[in-house]
Amino acid sequence: MSRKIAARKSPIHGNGVFAVAPIRKGKRLIEYKGKRRTHEDVDAGDSGDVDSGHTFLFTINDEYVIDANHGGNDARWINHSCAPNCEAVIEEHDGKNRRKDRVFIEAIRDIAPGEELTYNYGITLAERHTPRLKKIWACLCGSPECTGTMLQPKR
């Protein structure tokens, strides 16, 4: 991974991650790091919940979540956008140990220096998307394609 990126204050939300040099489409930028926890551990803990609208949790498979509250890196500061310039790519471990699956952030188009890195968080909630939840999970990306929420449409 290169140091073509840096974390700093974001106009989208709190902190963000920005390109400090040109980035080419397809470039793998950073691994999303943190403690591997089971969904049950996360649900019982205090690292994030539906009512906070803020999370450093990344679901990697049916068994595990990466909790960037513990041992996380700058990838946790990459903000959501409805018109992202990056995507999260889950790389499954060759063996059967799902705890070893990894997540990388990759550019899906060329990115200019100074541009903020973003990806679609793809947040899905089992419960009904009430106006209260849509407000909690409001999107602030400012894109013309903005849906107003980080929540993905129900299927």
Q: Tell me the β-bridge partners of 88.
A: 105
Contact partners, residue 49, CB within 8 Å, separation at least 6: none
- Per-residue model confidence as pLDDT tens digits over 19-49: 999 999 999 999 999 999 998 888 786 655 5
Provide the residue ranges of all domains of the chain, joining segments of one domain with +: 5-122
Average pLDDT score over residue span 55-80:
92
Cα 20 from Cα 22, distance rounded (Å): 7
Answer yes or no: is pLDDT of 112 > 50.
Answer: yes
pLDDT on residue 3: 80
Average pLDDT score over residue span 52-72:
86
Provide the CATH topology of domain 5-122: Beta-clip-like (2.170.270)
- Evaluate whether 112 touches 19 at the Cβ level (below 8 Å): yes
Residue 152, CA distances (Å) to 19, 34, 85 in order: 27, 24, 18
Q: Which one, of 117, 50, 49, 54, lies nearest residue 83 by Cα?
A: 117
